[in-house]
Structure 1
Amino acid sequence: MTGAEALRASIPRLQAEGIADAPRDARLLLAHAAGIAPDRLSLHLSDPLSPEAAARFAAAIDQRLARRPVSQITGQRLFWGRSFRVTSDTLDPRPETETLIATALEEPFERILDLGTGTGAILLSLLAERPEATGLAVDLSPAALDVAQDNARRLDLSGRSEFRVSDWFTAVDGTFDLIVSNPPYIAAAEMPALAPEVRDWEPHLALTPGGDGLDAYRAIAAEAPLHLRPGGRILVEIGPTQGEAVAALFSAAGLASVAILPDMDGRPRVVRGRTL
């Protein structure tokens, strides 16, 4: 069986299960199974698959049919131009989070705090773009921190990054030019309606704080001003309906220049605040 034949057999199976991006997913999984860079796959589609590669591809398709995310099957995800290791202990870094990165890079910073770091994608992307910066990343999950530290090693950023187990600010000391976070923000009532790839495979600790979905923002807003240097910024990702509520929390905490910023699709995505 050639790669092209394997794709023709697998794509309809994925489509039958309601997987919207079946052709893309099948190509990514085939490239992974064959050990080929995804952007080179077209050059090899007429090549016969080895028995080992065919078996890996079949197993990957079975996992995708169970709605396991592609990033967990391949173990990696591209974010801000770099590859990050992903496991079932971390959220899958998503393209909309790049809005937070772009906003952070609009102004200089030297010291960063990343709250609820997961894969470390936010902190490490910012450090990679600012060679003079250093950062601290915290997470309640030791398993997630192991993944983040591994990503730091892979990107040669271990010397400028530190990782601690912390329930938000409990293990945080010092002050920072920039605080960033993509916290759990899905309300408990919204969880059943999530896509199976998210609801059944990603860590619920990183998805929802329960209740109305705002508890993480309440905790962050309460203490962020104590850990920001004068003129420092805080940037948090939000759900599309949470902008006004999170902005009100920031203003009530004494943060200035509070603003709700859109992503590339025009949806509210980031709330910004600043110390005077």
Structure 2
Amino acid sequence: MKLGALHLAARARLAQAGIADAALDSRLIVEHFTGTGRTDAIARPEQEISAAAGDAVEDALRRRLAGEPVHRILGYREFYGLRLSLSAETLEPRPDTETLVDAVLPFVRATAAREGRCRILDLGTGTGAIALALLHCERAAEAVAVDISQGALAMAARNAAELGLSARFTAKKSDWFAEISGRYHAIVSNPPYIPAKDIGALEREVRDHDPVRALDGGADGLDAYRRIAAGAATHLEHGGIVVLEIGSTQAAEVAQLFADKGFVLSDSRRDLTGNQRALVFRVKE
């Protein structure tokens, strides 16, 4: 098959199956498995595709039609301009979480400029997305990335190595703060925040392919926030901040949990759809 025809056929199959982003998903699949770029289908639509590449595209399309997210099929996802490898034990990083990075990055830069470095603790790191984005943007930053999953930590460490950030990135197994010592300028987290009863109603791409442990926030979705609020002050430098991703309806409840532990809400950021997505806390003076 020729490249242009392969693009058209792949898009048609996904669209006919009701895949919401059929055009994008089919393009990503064809480009990835044929080794072509975005302009090749226009500039060289008559380019012949090898049988092996065609078979790889076919297998990927079958997986997508079965509900597997396109980025898990590709094995990576872009986040804050970085390519991050994925595994079955990592949450797939999403654009909403870039809101958290935007919220904390000015503080990280200011702290690094003032003190010569900024120490970051990333709780529930998964792929390492948040910590690695911050390290990439600020050369004087260093991060300890925590997860309870050894598989997730291995993937985060691999991503750090692939991005050339290993020297400032430490992956550490811990149940939240259980194995953590010392103090940090910034504590960041995108914790599990879906109420347990709601997980079954999530889109199949999320429900069936993201690790449940990275989604399940307990009966009310707030279990992880309680754990973080209870331990954050002990591990925060004077003047430090805690920055958290939240579910779109959880701002008031999370703010109250932190107020009960002596924190004040100093900033709130909305994502591209207008939902409150990141909260910034400081210890009340």
State the TM bucket, normalised to the shorter chain: over 0.9
Partner of 1:16: 16
1:124-152 Cα deviation digits (max 9, x unpaired): 01011110111100001000111000000
What amino acid sits opposite 1:81 in the alignment? Answer: G
Q: Which moved more, 1:41-50 or 1:160-169?
A: 41-50
Partner of 1:225: 233
Alignment root-mean-square deviation, CA: 1.4
Pick from 169, 175, 189 the counterpart of residue 167 of structure 1: 175
Distance 1:41 1:161 in 2: 39
Q: Give, in angstroms, the shift of residue 42 of structure 1.
A: 4.1
What amino acid sits opposite 1:2 in the alignment? Answer: K
Q: Give, in angstroms, the shift of residue 41 of structure 1.
A: 5.2
Partner of 2:268: 260
Q: How many residues align?
A: 276
Partner of 1:94: 94
Q: Is the 8 A contact 1:76 1:86 kept in 2?
A: yes
What amino acid sits opposite 1:134 in the alignment? Answer: E
Partner of 2:72: 72
Partner of 2:48: 48
| Residues 118-197 of structure 1 mapped to structure 2, 5 A cutoff | 118-197=126-205
Q: Under a length normalisation based on structure 2, what TM-score does the superposition of the two structures give? A: 0.93
SS in 1 for 2:29: helix
Q: Is the 8 A contact 2:11 2:27 kept in 1?
A: no
- Structure 2 gaps of 5+ residues are 112-117
Q: Give, in angstroms, the shift of residue 82 of structure 1.
A: 1.0
Q: 1:162 to 1:38 in 2, by over 3 A?
A: farther
Partner of 2:222: 214
1:45-80 Cα deviation digits (max 9, x unpaired): 331111111011000001101111111111111111
Distance 1:44 1:172 in 2: 55
Pick from 210, 234, 245 the counterpart of residue 237 of structure 1: 245
Distance 1:156 1:47 in 2: 35
Q: Under a length normalisation based on structure 1, what TM-score does the superposition of the two structures give? A: 0.96
Distance 1:163 1:76 in 2: 19
What amino acid sits opposite 2:57 in the alignment? Answer: F
SS in 2 for 1:180: strand
Q: Give, in angstroms, the shift of residue 4 of structure 1.
A: 1.7
Q: Is the 8 A contact 1:250 1:258 kept in 2?
A: no
Q: Is the 8 A contact 1:251 1:258 kept in 2?
A: no
Q: Which moved more, 1:109-118 or 1:250-259?
A: 250-259
Q: Which moved more, 1:252-261 or 1:212-221?
A: 252-261
Q: 1:82 to 1:193 in 2, by over 3 A?
A: same
- Structure 1 gaps of 5+ residues are none
SS in 1 for 2:106: coil
Q: Is the 8 A contact 1:117 1:181 kept in 2?
A: yes
SS in 2 for 1:143: helix
